[in-house]
């Protein structure tokens, strides 16, 4: 149980392109979904917290106009990296959580901007 | 959220028991302790969660002393496939609306 699916797992695109990443909780309804970013050899850094039907809460230093988050249902959240540039290249990981349950993570999306 | 401190790295050999200790001196009354495992290019995988004393599941045991200011993840008879980064996180489960904050983790290297 508690499976979180993230898609795509890997994307390469040109600078200036917008990229959408999907995160789905497959067998449970997530109270909240979270988006993290991870650089090589570093730990996960929280970018934003997303509750279904409401605006996402972004961490300090994360541009909300750059990283658009939509949480349309209790099982789906999307992260759109708008006008991506090489410095946005990273490993993006989503997480979903039901009330009183541990966070469960997707397998991440490797984003490479050329 | 409570800050955690773990060893940066550990080495072990196949078949040995590995114990990774995490310090969380300012843990709050309603905080739980959760451990995750992460392989390269994958998301973290839930291992075990506990509040006090001892918790055991099919893959690990979690030991928490009475003062809860530290915890120890015990991996019995490790194999090469247990080589990964292990994260100790502390936070409330409550409504689930707050994210867990990741520390630097412990990089475990298992050798033949």
Residue A88's pLDDT is 96
Residue A102's pLDDT is 86
Cβ atoms of residues B68 and B27 within 8 Å: yes
Contact residues, chain A, for B43 at CB < 8 Å:
4, 6, 93-95, 105-108
Residue B6's pLDDT is 96
Residue B107's pLDDT is 97
User: How far apart are alpha carbons A22 and A92 in whole angstroms?
Assistant: 11
List the single best residue of A2, A100, A102, A104 to mutate versus B (max B Cβ within 10 A).
A102
The 10 Å CB-count burial string (b at 16+, else e) for A46-64 is bbbbbbbeeebbbeeebee
For residue B12, say if its preceding peptide bond is cis, omega within 30 degrees of 0: no
User: How far apart are alpha carbons B100 and A97 in whole angstroms?
Assistant: 11
Distance between first and last Cα of chain B: 38
Residue A51's pLDDT is 84
pLDDT in tens, B82-112: 999 999 999 887 655 677 788 889 999 999 9
Q: Which residue of B has its CA nearest to A107?
A: B43
Q: Sort residue B25 into left (φ over 0), alpha (ψ -120 to 50) or beta.
A: alpha
Residue B97's pLDDT is 64
**Residue B2 pLDDT class (50, 70, 90 cuts):** low
Residue B95's pLDDT is 52
Residues in chain A where the model's pLDDT stays below 70: 1
User: How far apart are alpha carbons A105 and A93 in whole angstroms?
Assistant: 7
**Residue B1 pLDDT class (50, 70, 90 cuts):** low
pLDDT in tens, B49-83: 999 999 999 999 999 999 999 999 999 999 999 99
> Does the pLDDT at position B44 exceed 60?
yes
| DSSP state for residue B42 in the 8-state scheme | S
Hey, is A95 helix, strand or coil?
strand
User: How far apart are alpha carbons B50 and B54 in whole angstroms?
Assistant: 7
Among residues 1-20 of chain A, which lie with CB inside 8 Å of chain B? 2, 4, 6
pLDDT in tens, B8-36: 999 999 999 999 999 999 998 988 999 99
Cβ atoms of residues A31 and A51 within 8 Å: yes
Q: Which residue of B has its CA nearest to A106?
A: B43
């Amino acid at each position: 149980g508690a499976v979180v699916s993230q898609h795509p797992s890997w994307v390469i695109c040109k600078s200036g392109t917008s990229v959408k990443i999907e995160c789905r909780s497959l067998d449970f309804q997530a109270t909240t979904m979270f988006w993290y970013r991870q650089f090589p050899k570093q730990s996960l850094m929280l970018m934003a917290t997303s509750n279904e039907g409401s605006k996402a809460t972004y961490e300090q230093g994360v541009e909300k106009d750059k990283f658009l988050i939509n949480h349309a249902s209790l099982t789906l959240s999307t992260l759109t990296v708008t006008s991506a540039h090489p410095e946005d290249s990273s490993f993006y990981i989503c997480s979903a959580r039901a009330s009183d349950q541990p966070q469960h993570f997707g397998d991440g999306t490797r984003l490479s901007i050329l | 959220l409570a800050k955690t401190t773990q060893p940066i790295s550990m080495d072990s050999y196949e078949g040995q028991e590995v114990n990774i200790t995490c310090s969380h001196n300012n843990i709050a009354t309603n905080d739980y302790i959760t451990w995750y495992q992460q392989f390269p290019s994958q998301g973290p995988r839930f291992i075990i969660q506990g509040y006090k004393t001892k918790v055991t599941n099919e893959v690990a045991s979690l030991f928490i002393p009475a003062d809860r200011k530290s915890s120890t993840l015990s991996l019995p008879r490790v194999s090469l496939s247990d080589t990964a980064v292990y994260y100790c996180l502390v936070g409330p489960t409550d409504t689930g609306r707050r994210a867990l904050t990741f520390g630097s983790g412990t990089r475990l290297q298992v050798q033949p």
